Amino acid sequence: MRLPPGPRHSAAWSTWQWLRAPYPYLDRLSKELGETFTMRLLAFDLVFFSNPEDVKEVFLDNGETLEAGRFNSTLAPLLGDRSVLMVDGRAHRRKRKLLLPPFHGERMQVYGRTMLDVTDEAIDSFRHGEPFSFHEPMQDITLRVIVRTVFGFEGARLEEMVQSTKRLLELGTWPPLLLPFLQVDLGRLNHYGRFRRAVAENDALLYAEIRRRRRDGTRGPDILSLLLDARDEDGEPMSDEELRDELVTLLVAGHETSATGLTWAMRWLLDAPEPLADLRAELDALGPDPTPEAIAKCELLDATVREALRLVPVIPIVGRVLAKDQRVGGWDLKEGTVVVCSIYLAHRRPEAFPDPERFDPRRFFGKKLSAHEFFPFGGGVRRCIGMAFALYEMKMVLARIVTRCELALEGRRPVGMVRRSITITPSDGLRVVLQKRRPFLRARLAS
């Protein structure tokens, strides 16, 4: 058994490149080594696939041979061992069944108004002429949206959970934390120790809320209410500890990713006057204060969001670990091998996306792409639970910003990319300046 070809340089150099600038590094490796190659890292090797036939093979596995939970285990200190992301096989199927109902497409309308309101509040706080990092308000919006939709919180309780989750993420998204040998708790003396304290503080809030809801029987249209009442095949509910892990997973997976996708969408729009003007025209045609459903149906808006997720995927890879020896993509691989599908390289294949480096939302018009060519949300039995939520949210937020704000990139500096834990964001969070703002739409209607 042998691995696909790999680069000649050391594992230390590969690890540095992969942590520092993953996309340029992937471009370089695929140019030198072709579609299938091995990246040698200090902790393990990654076998990369991006050809649709190979990706299909990986996504068709039922999760018994190609295990994602083992691959995701570096996130366990943040999300907990019982999170849906950490488990495989039967335990994973059970988790999906319990977690999916709040994320079905038809539920999105329930969340749409919250998404618009939170965005309007954020836009009202933007200051004319003062440059700011666009990623920050996007993080704030998506965090407030997920906290409000998961818990139904308002006012002081919303603020408390938002601040606690922010602190958790500030400490938890430091890229070196992905390396298991740095996960040593030295109390306040090291980063990991401070991160553990933030986890404990956040846990205290989550457990208090879970116990309060169980005691009072309080239920509402929020996601936690649905999760408290969810039952598995044996009629059993989730334990408090399981609920804690799933809540942290939803808070973390459900906000940083969407915020990053939105920042990339704005980065491309601000460089593309024509697509931006067309998008504004499409949204203006809806009239003042359109409903979330009307916004969600906009064709160019939908294509813009997809094109942003294609051009620079928020997450570079999806990974699986082989539970037994197995042939994948024509290679006989050993038990324990880490197989990854490169979202980035798949999205840059000219066969599927001609002129792949160009931002062109209209390329999605009338196009039927397979789930093995375009997969920003991963695939198979592990496909992102929050996909409908994320697409809906990105459309609501982008629609409001494009119709209400005229933004420009600050200065002429080229926008690069940086890694934040598992996500890839524009450098400096995308520095922009607000040039003009339209007033709050519903206020204008009322006056």
Contact pattern for ligand HEM over residues 60 through 79, marking x by CB under 6 A: --------x-----------
Beta strands 338-342 and 45-49: pairing type? parallel
Helix (H), strand (E) at residue 90 = helix 89-99
- The verdict on 254 binding ligand HEM (CB under 6 A) reads yes
Among 377, 399, 409, 429, binds ligand HEM (CB under 6 A): 377
Helix 240-253 vs helix 256-269: angle between axes, to the nearest 10 degrees? 10
- The verdict on 385 binding ligand HEM (CB under 6 A) reads yes
Nearest-CA neighbor of 378 among 318, 325, 327, 304? 318
- CA 95 from chain centre, in angstroms, equals 19
- The verdict on 318 binding ligand HEM (CB under 6 A) reads yes
Q: For every residue of 352-396, which 3-state class applies, written as one string?
A: CCCCCCCCCHHHHCCCCCCCCCCCCCCCHHHCCCCHHHHHHHHHH
- The verdict on 84 binding ligand HEM (CB under 6 A) reads yes
Q: Of the ranges 203-211, 374-382, 406-414, 436-444, which one interacts with ligand HEM (CB under 6 A)?
A: 374-382
Q: Which residue has the tokens 């940083």?
A: 256
- The verdict on 48 binding ligand HEM (CB under 6 A) reads no
Instruction: Give the residue with the Cβ less far from ligand HEM, 84 or 346.
Output: 84
Nearest-CA neighbor of 15 among 376, 419, 423? 419
- The amino acid occupying position 33 is L
Alpha carbon distance 146, 149 (integer Å):
5
At its nearest, how many Å lie between ligand HEM and the CB of residue 250?
Answer: 5
Q: Of the ranges 177-185, 274-282, 351-359, 377-385, which one interacts with ligand HEM (CB under 6 A)?
A: 377-385
Q: Of the ranges 111-119, 201-209, 382-390, 405-413, which one interacts with ligand HEM (CB under 6 A)?
A: 382-390
257-296 positions binding ligand HEM, by CB under 6 A: 257-258, 261
- The verdict on 152 binding ligand HEM (CB under 6 A) reads no
Total residues at interface with ligand HEM (CB under 6 A) = 25
Alpha carbon distance 141, 263 (integer Å):
12
Among 85, 138, 340, 409, binds ligand HEM (CB under 6 A): 85
For binding to ligand HEM (CB under 6 A), which residues are involved?
68, 84-85, 96, 249-250, 253-254, 257-258, 261, 314-315, 318, 376-379, 382-386, 389-390
